[in-house]
Amino acid sequence: MERYIVGITGASGSAYALALIDALLARGARVHAVLTGMGEQVLRYECGLGFDEWARGRENLQTEDDRDLFSPIASGSFPVSGMAVAPCSVSTLGRIAAGVADDLLARAADVSLAQRRPLVLMIRETPLSAVHLQNMLTLCRAGAVILPACPGFYHRPQTVGELTGFMAGKVLDCLGLKNECYPHWKGVRE
């Protein structure tokens, strides 16, 4: 069974994480979700429910404790196919870029880079400072995919779900996973 880690930070856009996790579960993958403290708080604020409540009944979804560095996902010897941080705050971006791995989310990201495993960072902040851009460049050079939370509009979305689905699909694309989360561009002949 494919296994993925989804990190959720306190950047705005928690709904992206929920769409991504559901897309991974729908393809039969096992998902380890790890939320920072602010990730939990912002999700509750933006989505109107706690992550544990949302996760209830979703088989193959395991919530990890961000303080638990004894977790299997803290180790490179634990097999996972890839990791995404969605949404990723500029704070967590900075910690990963600096190699600070003192919570489970940052440690798992650090391990992904060291093991040359796919790591997708869905950054959500605007505008961006030189510090943010420098940290993104550092991580891009280290092998991460920087995927700004910038949904396109060329598929003419009518609902928020179509926007979050677009970003979930982009993450799956970056992980090399075929998906129909959004209509992939096939060109226009008019």
Ligand X SMILES: Cc1cc2nc3c(=O)[nH]c(=O)nc-3n(C[C@H](O)[C@H](O)[C@H](O)COP(=O)(O)O)c2cc1C
* Alpha-carbon gap, residue 7 to 86, rounded angstroms: 6
Site for ligand X contains 91 (CB under 6 A)? yes
Site for ligand X contains 135 (CB under 6 A)? no
Site for ligand X contains 62 (CB under 6 A)? no
> Where is 51: in which H helix or E strand?
helix 51-55
Q: Which of 38, 55, 69, 113 touches ligand X by CB under 6 A? A: 38
Site for ligand X contains 12 (CB under 6 A)? yes
Position closest to ligand X via CB: 10
* Alpha-carbon gap, residue 49 to 65, rounded angstroms: 18
Residue 30 sits at φ, ψ, to 5 deg, of: -95, 135
Tokens 């929920």 correspond to what residue? 18
Q: Can you state the angle between helices 90-97 and 130-141, rounded to 10 degrees?
A: 50
**Binding-site residues from annotation:** 10-12, 36, 89-92, 124, 154, 170
- Beta carbon of residue 15, minimum distance to ligand X (angstroms, whole number): 12
- Beta carbon of residue 55, minimum distance to ligand X (angstroms, whole number): 18
**Binding residues vs ligand X (CB under 6 A):** 9-12, 36, 38-39, 42, 45, 89-92, 124-125
